[in-house]
Amino acid sequence: MAHLIVAMDFPTAEDLLQCAKAIKGTVEWCKVGLEAFVLQGPALISRLEDMGFKVFLDLKYYDIPNTVAAAVRTASRSGARLLTIHTQGGEAMCRAAMEAAKEAGDKRPLIFGVTCLTSFADGQMPGIHEPVSGFARSLAGMADSWGLDGVVCSGQEAGYVKQNTSLMALCPGIRPAGAATNDQARVVTPAMAVQAGADFLVVGRPITRAASPAAAASAILEEMAR
Ligand code: C5P
């Protein structure tokens, strides 16, 4: 059964915590990304864990292997259950991230490699002339051979990942039928992502900007279960 993760992208701590209270009990996982982390730091992760959430820390590390390993080590002590790095950081960086995470033992966070951002359509990735989905699939194959736990990919690539690798697939770019796509390009509906075998669905604005975030989350969970 796939898990729903709500992307808590908010400009203030008050707004974020108000949404967290609203979806508490409905959703098990939430995502702390760049905006919230820069605003509030690791204390926010503890706060959300104390409220009962499992926290996905989405900082998408991309740096030299030593720096990424150190950042993974620090994040592993934050209570986050899942971290992201960029698969395009290459083999040495990805392997260093995994080794650093494993130092945390049984309680280590899962390490997922971002393949191609879901906001990229064909022709928009600098230097990449092949279709974005094809490039994302190639990166997933590499992530598998480098021993990552999973990849971040669009729902359009999740089927390939589940059928051809041993990786878990975490999919942003999820939009219920008829919802605004915003800046996302490679979107699928919650039902399509589940059908493709996605392990985690990340949904932000369709839930966080809804009049009732809890009702929007419940509707997506119902669609995922159907
Ligand atoms: O609001 P929306 O549902 O588009 O939010 C998607 C979330 O997933 C954002 O927080 C974004 O940073 C994140 N994300 C993404 N595409 C990726 C990786 C992460 O949209 N490839």
151 by Cβ neighbours in 10 Å (0-12 / 13-18 / 19+) ranks as: buried
Give pLDDT, residue 216: 98
Per-residue pLDDT of the chain (226 residues; tens, 9 = 90+): 899 999 999 999 999 999 999 999 999 999 999 999 998 999 999 999 999 999 999 999 999 999 999 999 999 999 999 999 999 999 999 999 999 999 999 999 999 999 999 999 999 999 999 999 999 999 999 999 999 999 999 999 999 999 999 999 999 999 999 999 999 999 999 999 999 999 999 999 999 999 999 999 999 999 999 9
CA-nearest residue for atom 2, ligand 1, is 204
Structure tokens at 175: 């939009």
Give pLDDT, residue 181: 96
Neighbours of 193 (CB within 10 A): 30
CA-nearest residue for atom 19, ligand 1, is 172
From the CA of 183, give the closest atom in ligand 1: 4
Query: 52 C-alpha vs ligand 1 centroid, how far in Å?
Result: 22
Q: Please state, in angstroms and rounded to a whole number, the distance separating the CA atoms of residues 88 and 85.
A: 9
Give pLDDT, residue 30: 98
CA-nearest residue for atom 12, ligand 1, is 33
Mutation test residue for ligand 1: of 202, 203, 205, 209, the one with most atoms within 8 Å of CB: 202
Nearest by Cα to 206 from 175, 178, 183, 172: 175
What does the DSSP assignment read for 160-181? Answer: HHHHHSS-EEEE--B--TT---
What is the H or E stretch that residue 20 is in?
A: helix 13-23
Query: 117 C-alpha vs ligand 1 centroid, how far in Å?
Result: 8
From the CA of 153, give the closest atom in ligand 1: 21
Query: 173 C-alpha vs ligand 1 centroid, how far in Å?
Result: 6
CA-nearest residue for atom 5, ligand 1, is 204
The one-character DSSP state at 120 is P
Question: Any idea which residues carry the catalytic annotation?
Answer: 60
Nearest by Cα to 168 from 154, 155, 151, 185: 151
Query: 3 C-alpha vs ligand 1 centroid, how far in Å?
Result: 15
Nearest by Cα to 27 from 209, 211, 200, 226: 200
The one-character DSSP state at 9 is -
Q: What per-residue string of b and e applies to 18-38 under the rule 16 or more CB within 10 Å gives b?
A: ebbebbeebbebbbbbeebbe
From the CA of 7, give the closest atom in ligand 1: 10
Q: What share of the chain is helix, strand, coil (3-state, %, to 5)?
A: 45, 20, 35
